Amino acid sequence: MKTINKIKSLKANGHYALSLIEDNRVYLSGQFSIDPNTGEKKFGTMSEELKQVLSNIELILKEAGSCKEKVLKVNVYINDLDKWSTVDEIYSNFFAEHTPARTIIALPRLHFGFKVEVDVIATCK
């Protein structure tokens, strides 16, 4: 098993890995809207946060020898179900023709006050 704990300024901030690679699969921990160059939290609209999260996921997947076209499963956690159409539009634009399995979970609060968190499982190498 290979552990990735840091890419640029993206890092695990607790007792977990940023991502793990095992048996040609990469498992990403939940990602928030963090600036990968500074490590600063980037709060914004649901749209702004989700775009940053997906960009960070793409960066981590690349480091793991994968890409968004190899994503198998996505869990999206949002704090406002009324933003579903916004989330779906950005998600659809990001993945384009690729349609991984997906679960959307609405929660009243996310850590640090973020509006969205996403974790993924993908094949790699």
* pLDDT per residue rounded down to tens, the chain (125 residues): 999 999 999 998 889 999 999 999 999 999 999 999 999 999 999 999 999 999 999 999 999 999 999 999 999 999 999 999 999 999 999 999 999 999 999 999 999 999 999 999 999 97
Domains (range + CATH), the chain? 2-123 (3.30.1330.40)
Taking the C-alpha atoms of residue 125 and residue 40, their distance in angstroms, rounded to an integer, is 30
Q: How far apart are CA 14 and CA 31, in angstroms?
A: 13
Distance CA 72, CA 9 (A): 26
Going from the C-alpha of 41 to that of each of 19, 73, 79, 81, 118, the distances in angstroms are 19, 25, 17, 22, 15
Helix (H) or strand (E) holding 6: strand 6-7
